[in-house]
Structures are given as C-alpha cells and as structure tokens.
Amino acid sequence: MSDTLFVRDDLAAAWRGADPFEHLSQIDGEVFRDVEARRTFRFEAGGRSYFAKVHSGVGWREILKNLLVFRRPVVDASNEYRACLLLPKFGVPVPAPAAYGIRGLSPATRQSFIVCDELVDHVSLSTLAQNWHESPPAPAFKRQLIEAVAEITRAMHCAGVVHRDYYLYHLLVDRELLKSGAIALALIDLHRAQLRSRIPTRWLVKDLGALLFWCLDLPITRRDHLRFVRAYEGRPLREALKANGRFWMRVRRRGVELYRKGQRKGLVADRFVPEHGDG
C-alpha cells in the first residue's frame, strides 16, 4: 500500500501545514483508549471537536496470531475510512472523516490515522438503556427504538459492512431529536469493520449475536426479539421465520454463548433468564 494523505480544509487551516502524523502524536487530548498499537482520543481545533484514532505498527507477531485463527488482522485505519465513506450512501449515519493518512509498505510497521468529526450531543444506547430495569421505557418508545436498531443494522449489512464490534455502545442516538420523540441513530468505531461484496452467513451471525448479547441484560422480551427480526428482514414475521428460522436460532445461540462467557468473566449484570431451547 502506497502512502496516502487526506486533510480536510478546516483541519488543514487549523494545523497550518504541520505534518499530520507528527502533529497527532503530540496532541494530548482526552484519551478514550490507549493500547499497544492504537490510541483513540478527542481533541479540539479551530473551534470544532474531533475524534482521532492513531495506529502504529502492530508487528508480525500480532499479524501471525490473527492469521493462525483465520482472522483478518487490522493493520491500519483504511477499513474504517472506507466504511465511513461507504455507509452514508446506504443511509447509515457515521462520523464524517476530516483527515486520513497511511505511510509505510510493511503491514507490520505501517503507521496510519483517521480523524472524524465528533457527533455532538449524542448518547450511546448502552447509556440510554442502563436504568431500564428501574425505570422501564414507554412500550411505544421501546418498539420504535428496536425497529430503528434493526433498520440501521440491515442497512449496514446491505452495504456489505460487518462491524465486528457490534455492541450497543457503538450505536449513538441524537439527544436533541430524541426530545421531540424522533429516533436518529449513528454508528461509530468501525476500525475492525470488514467490507465485502457478499457477507458470509457466519459473519452476520457474529454481528447480530454480539448485538443480542448486549441486550440480554435489558428488559427485552421474546416479542421484542421477534419485532427486531421482522424489522431487520423487512417482511412479515411469518415469512421471515419460515425462510430464515435456522439463521435466527444461530443468532440466538451465539448471543447466549457470549453472555455465558461474560458471566464467567464477570462482565455482565447477570440478569438474563434463559428460555426453553437456550441450552
């Protein structure tokens, strides 16, 4: 991969010709994640707020570890950048890229970054729903929200994008529109996303199972699950289950398996009550 650089006019003016790689390495910002090969932080420039994700070389060991389990390693910010450009064409709101760069040929030592506009006045669905057991949402609002999540998920998959970290905290809702009763969702954190011409079934199951896993701690009923299926499929429930009943059983098993792993690791609230057939 050859070196690539894009800087939007607003950031170019704020950075005044500085090398983006060097400039981003010196910004302190509000750090949200700092692991060995990736740093995510929020910063302000020219009166606007942004999120930056800076990738350093992952090393051959990490690449080989992923390849040995048939997993495509994430070595730079290219997939996230491509997904952020593609998804709005399919009606999926995402943060707009303001800058993007890659340098280095070797996937093990390649450096890259992506800077996106901050989605101001948004809240994650995990935060929105965290008190639902104590203060249940209005039934009409919950139905509307479930259908909105199903629709944005279907649009993402129709675009050929697999999120691979598809949890409720990566779905944001516009708080200003929420005040008027409207639900507008946006999708974030696409650094592990895969872009495919056709998504294999197993990857759809992984995405949908991950989403279900996060919902199992919430007061979500079987009827709510079926409402999601109907909205995701975009057709009457009876038709959807007749055509893809086994698929949705796989999604259910995947979500329950992830939940049980979460129980063993103490990562869940342990509120899920298994139903008949959950094993």
pLDDT per residue over 54-82, tens digit each?
999 888 888 888 888 777 888 899 999 99
Domains of the chain: 4-117 (3.30.200), 122-265 (1.10.510.10)
Q: How many CA atoms lie within 13 A of 258 on its CB side?
A: 22
Please give the pLDDT value at position 113: 96
Please give the pLDDT value at position 72: 81
Measure the CA dihedral 195/199/202/206, to 10°.
50
Please give the pLDDT value at position 101: 96
Phi, psi at residue 171, to the nearest 5°?
A: -115, 125
d(CA 151, CA 109) in angstroms, rounded, equals 38
Length of the chain: 279
Residues of the chain with pLDDT under 50: none
Please give the pLDDT value at position 276: 63
pLDDT digits (tens, 9 = 90+) for 3-16: 889 999 999 999 99
**Does the annotation mark 28 as catalytic?**
no
Q: How far out from the chain centre does Cα 194 lie?
A: 11
Please give the pLDDT value at position 105: 84
Please give the pLDDT value at position 54: 95
**Strands lying side by side in the sheet with 122-124:** 122-124, 171-174, 185-187
- Among residues 165, 189, 207, 224, the one annotated as catalytic is 165
Burial class (CB within 10 angstroms; exposed 0-12, middle 13-18, buried 19+) of 183: middle
